[in-house]
Every structure is written in structure tokens, then in C-alpha cells.
Amino acid sequence: MVKTSPILHDAAMNLFPFADYWWFYCGFTVFVLIVLALDLGVFHRNAHEVKFREALAWSVVWVAMAVLFGWLFGKFAEFRFFNDARLLAIPGFDPSVEAHRAMLQYFTGYIVEKALSVDNIFVFVVIFTYFNIPDKYQHRVLFYGIIGALIFRCIFIAVGAALIQYYWVVVLFGVFLILTGIKVILAPEKPLDPEKNPILKFLKRVLPITPQLEGQRFFLRQNGTLMATPLFVALIFIEISDVVFAVDSVPAIYAITKEPMIVFTSNIFAILGLRAMFFLLAGVVHKFRFLKYGLGLVLVFVGLKMVWLNQLFGGHFPIGWSLTIISVLIGSSIAASFLIPPKKES
């Protein structure tokens, strides 16, 4: 359990104020852009099917980068806290303890976002299957989908940082997450049918769409008319699905920490590894039969943190306990999916 001063919680939003750390945000953004440029321009310059071994290697790389960043972030926070007279003036403030707590918040947020993103994989499989997107073009669609997801997440995080300062918003987010978690647990699974989606109907009405793919192109011009290919339509669906999932995931991570910097970095690293995780798990994700119950319980737990548990523990539920509870819920649901055999249909 990481102990903190109750007085510090009143100033929690000021641990990494944007006015003092704008250069960190800019540097991190430049780093992400460089990584994405290398990904598409060098390692995936030529369209090809991503095999299991390649997906596994990239998954290890992305997770290793996220873990290394988390460790470096803890060291960076400790160095900054020891040299911040404003924070040192807070009674009971311990730079080492608070830096460790910030690092645990990052890892907890990363695990939550990583687990919730598994639901995206289910949707991606349906989208690629429906639009008959060949395996070799799926990485290209996901790449641009990830760029759009990064932009939307930044917007959601910025709006959340402004709203989370109001207690009634915190309670509202918490209640929303609890109800969402209960719905995930109790609601029967319904197959996704893109044909009935109003977005697809709207696109067909306002945008000419080619009946077949044209290589890896999103648009082409036929007889002077600009037309979209099914690859572009699949990309639109990918973007929309991420916006829908962000409505759950961003409030969930704000239940872990109120620091926008931690929310931003953990969210971005979880999204960056989403493509590799898709190619790694797409073929077996249907076997995670009990994962939805684990994710539902995680949403209920983080919702309870916002509306009750934080206040019960003097302003902030112990982050070490949060990390343990979330890891056990997700790990147990995955283990149960493989250990408990499915019922045989008559």
C-alpha cells in the first residue's frame, strides 16, 4: 500500500501542471509520431499478411516500450518532485513515495486500457470479415485507424481533464461506469451486423463506393468521379468503434488517476500496441468466453472507486490494491476461459 498525505489529494491535479510540463507532452507526441512513421514507412512499407510470429514480436516490443517508459516515468517524477519547492512545501509530501504512486497509476491505467481494448478486437474481426478485407491490407487500415484513435483520445482526455475537477462529474462518470459494467455482465451478446448500421447506410447515400477493392487505395477516380473503396469504409467503422470504446475507457482511467499526463501516456501506449495485439489474438479471441465478465467487473470496480471507495479511504483508494484487484479480475476471467470447458451443444 502506498501512503500519501491527505492534503496532497487536494493538489493532485497540480503534480504535473501543463504550464510546467508542456515540453513533456510535445516531446512525447514527437516520439509517438516518429515511432508511427518508422512503423509504416520502414517496417510495413510493403503490404503483407502479418503472421503470428511477427505479431508476437511486435507485441513484445510494444509492451517492453510501455514498461520501460513506466519505469523511466517513475524516475523522472521522483527527480522533478525532489526539485519542486511547491510540492515540497506540502506537509507530509514524500517525493519518493509519490513518484512510486504515480508510476503505479501509469501501470494500472495501462493494464485497464489494454484489457478494455480486447473488445475492439472482436469488432475489428467482424468489420474485416464483412468487408472482405484481405489480411495483407488489414495492417494499413489499422494503422490509419490508430492515428484517428490517438486524435480522438487526446480530445476525450482533454475534455475529461477539464470536467473531472467537478465532483458531480466524478460521480456521474462513476455511476455511468457501474451501469456499463453491469450491462456488460448481464446483457446477452448480440452479433454485430454492419449492414444494419446507419453509418453504412449514410455513407452509401452520400459517397460513391466501388464494389471491390483497388489494392491498398482508399480512394480512386473513375470517369471523373471520386469514389471510396471498401477499405475506406472499413476504416470509418474502425474509427467509430474506437470513439464508442473511448466513452468507457477514458472515464475508467480517470478513476485510476486524475493526472492528465498519466492518462495521456498510458492511453497512448495501450493504443500503439493494439494492432500487434489484434494480429496476435484475432484467431483465438473468440475463446475468451469469460473475459467480458472480468471487464464488466473492472468497470464496476473503477466506478465504485469514483463514487464511494476513494472517499472511504480518505480521498484515494490505495493504488497498489487497485492494480492487484484489476489484474486478478482480468487474469481470472482469461484463465477461466481456458480451464473451464464450454458446454456441449445437443
The DSSP-derived string for 98-136 is: HHHHHHHHHHHHHHHHHHHTHHHHHHHHHHHHHTT--HH
- Gap between the Cα atoms of 95 and 223, Å rounded: 66
Dihedral over alpha carbons 236, 240, 243, 245 (to 10 degrees): -120
Total Cβ atoms within 10 A of residue 141: 23
- Lowest-confidence pick of 212-221, 226-235, 279-288, 327-336: 279-288
Evaluate whether 105 touches 15 at the Cβ level (below 8 Å): no
Is there a domain that residue 267 lies in?
yes
Side chain identity at 285, as an amino acid letter? V
Q: What is the pTM of this model?
A: 0.85
Q: Which string of DSSP letters, residue by residue, matches 161-184? A: HHHTTSHHHHHHHHHHHHHHHHHH
In a domain, 343, yes or no: no
Sole residue written with cell 453491469: 182
Is 262 inside any structural domain?
Answer: yes
Range name among 224-228, 243-247, 281-285, 332-336 with the lowest pLDDT average: 281-285
How many domains does one find in the chain? Answer: 1
Distances (CA, A) of 276 to 124, 193, 216, 285, 312: 13, 25, 19, 13, 39
SS3 content of the chain, % helix, strand, coil (to 5): 75, 5, 25
49-103 pLDDT, tens digit each: 778 788 888 889 999 999 999 999 999 999 999 998 888 888 888 899 999 999 9
Domain membership of residue 336 (yes or no) is: no
**Alpha-carbon gap, residue 179 to 333, rounded angstroms:** 20
Q: Is residue 311 part of a domain?
A: no
**pLDDT tens figures, 169-199:** 888 988 998 998 898 888 776 666 666 667 7
- Give dist(CA 180, CA 187) in Å, integer: 10
Predicted pLDDT at 134: 85
Residue 132's pLDDT is 84
- At 293, is the secondary structure helix, strand, or coil? helix
Is 255 within a domain? yes
Least confident of 40-54, 154-168, 195-209: 40-54
Degrees (nearest 5) of the Cα angle 185, 282, 36?
110
Nearest to 165 by CA among 256, 262, 265, 254: 254
| Residue type, position 128, single letter | F
**Domain membership of residue 258 as a residue range:** 6-177+190-282
The proportion of the chain whose per-residue pLDDT surpasses 70, expressed as a percent, equals: 90
Whether 11 is covered by a domain: the verdict is yes
Residue 291 lies in a domain: no
Give whole-number Cα distances, 25 to 19, 101, 323, in Å.
Answer: 11, 20, 25
